[in-house]
Amino acid sequence: MVQFALDYAGVAVCAISGALAAGRRSLDLLGVVVIAIATSIGGGTLRDLLLDRHPVFWIAHTGYLIVAIAAALFTLLYVRYFKPPERLLLVADAFGLALFTISGARIAYEAGVDGVVVVMMAVITGVFGGVLRDVLCAEIPMILRKGHIYATAAIAGATGFVLLKNFDLDPTVPALAGMAIVVGLRLAAIVWNLELPVFSLQDHGRHGDDKKGDD
């Protein structure tokens, strides 16, 4: 029950973030709902397809879809009258990222895959929805440009989860520790505006828009 309530909260937070992002692209009402759904269930869907887990989580439990749609509609109404509470949403989003990431890690771990695949699935569950949102908005995904320690927090938390699973601990310990790492890193990145260095390759004799390996 607690698990479901947390999952639904995570879905709602992601849907709200998706709806707000869509609002900055002047989409129509349905487009906003579609982006909200894609943002909130995209990561878990790709994880389930890759791990061959069927039925996919939102097909098995339609509550996820309904929460995502309701959160998107609520956002549409809310921003008509009020300013979105940006600080609160950033914090809620950090918790949403932690919940998604560690739930992805746990599902992958239980599927018996290697540690590195567990981390990969955790990151996919945590951030792929946002990637999908940005691709649908025809933008380079935020997490690739300067993610402000977004996917990095997911990687660190999932790695902590995997490492702690090697010890004989109560099963909730690795999950809680992993979530704490994600939330901690993410909030620290927001407060101190931390970023990974940008990698730029402009002065090496390649011009225009031609690409290595394609032409």
How far apart are CB 58 and a second copy at their closest, in Å? 8
How far apart are CB 76 and a second copy at their closest, in Å? 6
How far apart are CB 173 and a second copy at their closest, in Å? 25
Site pattern 28..67 for a second copy (x: CB under 8 A)? xxxxx-xx---------x---xxxx-xxx-xx--x--xx-
Token representation of residue 68: 């995502």
The answer to whether residue 98 forms part of the interface with a second copy (CB under 8 A) is: no
Q: How far apart are CA 96 and CA 90, in angstroms?
A: 10
Q: Amino acid letter at 22?
A: A
How far apart are CB 176 and a second copy at their closest, in Å? 23
Q: How far apart are CA 68 and CA 153, in angstroms?
A: 24
Residues 132-161 that bind a second copy (CB under 8 A): 135-148, 150-152, 155
Residues 103-122 that bind a second copy (CB under 8 A): 113-114, 116-117, 120
How far apart are CB 107 and a second copy at their closest, in Å? 13
Token representation of residue 97: 């990222």
Closest CA to 20 of 8, 35, 42, 41: 35
The answer to whether residue 188 forms part of the interface with a second copy (CB under 8 A) is: no
**Binding segment for a second copy among 1-9, 77-85, 159-167, 177-185 (CB under 8 A)?**
77-85
Nearer to a second copy, 51 or 102 (CB): 51
Is-contact 183 189, C-beta < 8 A? Answer: no
Q: Amino acid letter at 16?
A: I
The CA distances from residue 75 to 82, 86, 133, in Å, are 10, 13, 16
At residue 26, what are phi and psi to the nearest 5 degrees?
55, 50
Q: How far apart are CA 196 and CA 174, in angstroms?
A: 26
**Binding segment for a second copy among 2-10, 11-19, 157-165, 177-185 (CB under 8 A)?**
11-19
Is-contact 104 46, C-beta < 8 A? Answer: no
